C-alpha cells in the first residue's frame, strides 16, 4: 500500500495537480494512482498530504466552508502543498476580507499582485534547494509581502516572495502543475518523508 495524497477538488486546476503528483510519486517508486480528489471531510481520512490548487481563492474559500472542510483542514496532520490560490488560503493574512484563510503559514499575501489574466507571465526563477532555475507559470498570481521568522523563503522575484515552506507545508505563487518539471512536487514529497530509496 503506497502513500495516499489528496487534491482539494472544489474549484481550480484539480486534474493537473492529480496528474503532476501521480507522476512525481511514480518517480520515487510509489503507486501514482493513490492521488484522490477531496471534496468532503471524510475524504481526508488516511491521507499523508493534500494539495490546494490554483483557482479563484474567494470561491474556494466559500466552498471550503460550505462543504464543512474548514475545521478538518485546520486539524489535518499531513503536509499541505498550496499553489496560487492555495498560497492565499494558507496565509495568515490576505488583502481581501472575502477570503477566510487557514492561517497555516505566517505570511501576508497580496492577491492578484500582477493584475488581470492578460498580465500573466512565465519566468525562470531561482529556488533554494534546486540546482538550476525553475520555469514558473504566474497566472493572476499572488505574492507574499511578508514572511514570519519561522517561515523559510524559497524564492523571490522583484514583486515579492513567491515560494515558502514551513515544516511539512509548502506554498507557491505560481503553477508547477502546468509544466513537466516535477522538482517542487518531489521536494514537497521529501518534506513529508517520501523519497526515492537509495
Distance in angstroms (rounded) separating the CA atoms of residues 76 and 104: 11
Q: How many CA atoms lie within 13 A of 121 on its CB side?
A: 11
Q: How many CA atoms lie within 13 A of 167 on its CB side?
A: 9
Residue among 16, 17, 169, 175 flagged as catalytic: 175
Summarised one tens digit per residue, pLDDT across range 32-51 is 668 999 999 999 999 999 99
pLDDT band for position 1 (cuts 50, 70, 90):
very low
Q: Which domains does the chain have, with CATH numbers?
A: 5-191 (3.40.50.880)
pLDDT band for position 134 (cuts 50, 70, 90):
very high
Active site residue 177: yes
Q: What is the pLDDT of residue 34?
A: 86
Distance in angstroms (rounded) separating the CA atoms of residues 118 and 27: 34
Q: What is the pLDDT of residue 198?
A: 53
pLDDT band for position 197 (cuts 50, 70, 90):
low
The pTM of the full predicted model, rounded to 2 decimals, is: 0.94
- Statement: residue 17 has pLDDT above 70: yes
Closest CA to 94 of 56, 144, 55: 144
Summarised one tens digit per residue, pLDDT across range 58-103 is 999 999 999 999 999 999 999 999 999 999 999 999 999 999 999 9
Active site residue 84: yes
Residue among 16, 30, 84, 169 flagged as catalytic: 84
Amino acid at each position: 500500500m503506497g502513500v495516499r495524497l489528496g487534491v482539494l477538488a472544489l474549484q481550480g486546476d484539480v486534474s493537473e495537480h492529480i496528474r503532476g503528483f501521480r507522476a512525481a510519486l511514480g518517480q520515487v517508486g510509489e503507486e501514482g494512482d493513490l492521488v484522490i480528489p477531496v471534496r468532503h471531510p471524510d475524504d481526508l481520512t488516511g491521507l499523508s498530504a493534500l494539495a490546494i490548487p490554483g483557482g479563484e481563492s474567494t470561491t474556494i474559500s466559500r466552498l471550503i466552508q460550505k462543504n464543512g472542510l474548514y475545521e478538518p483542514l485546520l486539524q489535518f496532520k499531513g503536509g499541505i502543498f498550496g499553489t496560487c490560490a492555495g498560497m492565499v488560503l494558507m496565509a495568515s493574512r490576505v488583502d481581501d476580507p472575502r477570503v477566510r484563510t487557514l492561517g497555516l503559514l505566517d505570511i501576508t499575501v497580496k492577491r492578484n499582485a500582477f493584475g488581470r489574466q492578460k498580465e500573466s507571465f512565465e519566468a525562470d526563477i531561482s529556488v533554494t534547494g534546486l540546482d538550476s532555475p525553475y520555469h514558473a507559470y504566474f497566472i493572476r498570481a499572488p505574492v507574499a509581502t511578508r514572511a514570519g521568522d519561522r517561515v523559510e523563503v524559497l524564492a523571490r522575484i522583484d514583486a515579492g516572495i513567491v515560494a515558502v515552506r514551513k515544516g511539512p507545508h509548502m506554498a507557491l505563487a505560481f503553477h508547477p502543475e502546468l509544466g513537466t518539471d516535477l522538482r517542487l512536487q518531489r521536494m514537497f514529497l521529501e518534506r513529508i518523508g517520501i523519497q526515492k530509496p537509495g
